[in-house]
Chains A and B, each alone.
Chain A
Amino acid sequence: EAQVTQNPRYLITVTGKKLTVTCSQNMNHEYMSWYRQDPGLGLRQIYYSMNVEVTDKGDVPEGYKVSRKEKRNFPLILESPSPNQTSLYFCASSLGFGNTEAFFGQGTRLTVV
């Protein structure tokens, strides 16, 4: 089954404790991206990757890092999480760069206290 898998689904952590949210897709897609979803703000792109070892900033990259060492994986790293990073995070992948449908993961609800 074609899917984008994120882990964990829920996470509560403390300020400053490094964490990684994993994202994996099994569709051989080239384009992957991370979004955060906040009430009243919709979906905002954090980082995207056009292919292995190619990543770039989206609209809200501050406080986040990503890597793309393999085509299928695109982890999101918060080196020193802060409460303003409490949000619902989605990973997405697509075959091409904006001209094909994006498949979203189930989401990760992160709370930073």
Chain B
Amino acid sequence: GQQVMQIPQYQHVQEGEDFTTYCNSSTTLSNIQWYKQRPGGHPVFLIQLVKSGEVKKQKRLTFQFGEAKKNSSLHITATQTTDVGTYFCAGWMIGGYQKVTFGIGTKLQVIP
């Protein structure tokens, strides 16, 4: 079945440093979404990428979708303590299937 690998699983950074998490799918995706889950909270939607090679920005967050629509990344510039949480990618399969596969998540700790 479809697999979405996400790395790293954990990342500790000093406040002000950059952070990147990567997702790779075993199959071509229709689209990919990114979610953030604060400690003790529920996943909250950040963004969706649909087109091959798409790049979207939200303030200090930059999201990319690979040309082959099999990989994606989330980059945070100059992390802040408010960025703490777990970041998940969610890949939707091509071909009319309605199932989604989440990456394992990257837990980000920001050291003040």
Asked if A101 and B98 sit within 8 Å, CB to CB, the answer is no
- Interface size for chain A: under 10, 10 to 19, 20 to 34, or 35 or more residues? 20 to 34
Residues in B whose Cβ lies below 8 Å from that of A62: none
Query: Taking CB as reference atom, which chain A residue is nearest B32?
Result: A98
Asked if B100 and A98 sit within 8 Å, CB to CB, the answer is yes
Q: Does B64 contact A (CB under 8 A)?
A: no
Contacts known (A41-B104, A42-B88); A98 close to B31, Cβ less than 8 A: yes
Majority DSSP secondary structure for residues of B touching A: strand
Q: Does B102 contact A (CB under 8 A)?
A: yes
Q: Which of A45, A99, A107 contacts B99 (CB 8 A)?
A: A45
Binary flags per residue of A29-69, CB closer than 8 Å to B gives 1, else 0: 00101010000111111001010000010110000000000
Binary flags per residue of B43-70, CB closer than 8 Å to A gives 1, else 0: 1110010100000000000000000000
Q: Does B85 contact A (CB under 8 A)?
A: no
- Interface size for chain B: under 10, 10 to 19, 20 to 34, or 35 or more residues? 20 to 34
Q: Which of A33, A43, A90, A102 contacts B45 (CB 8 A)?
A: A102
Q: Does B1 contact A (CB under 8 A)?
A: yes
Q: Does B30 contact A (CB under 8 A)?
A: yes
In Å, the complex CA distance between A101 and B9 comes to 24
Asked if A101 and B48 sit within 8 Å, CB to CB, the answer is yes
Residues in A whose Cβ lies below 8 Å from that of B100: 33, 45, 98
User: A-contacting residues of B (Cβ < 8 Å)?
Assistant: 1, 6, 9, 30-31, 33, 35, 42-45, 48, 50, 88, 90, 92, 98-105
Given A59-B99, A98-B31, A107-B42, output 17 extra A-B contacts at Cβ < 8 Å: A31-B98, A33-B100, A41-B104, A42-B6, A42-B104, A43-B43, A44-B102, A45-B100, A45-B101, A48-B98, A56-B99, A59-B101, A99-B48, A99-B50, A102-B90, A104-B43, A104-B44
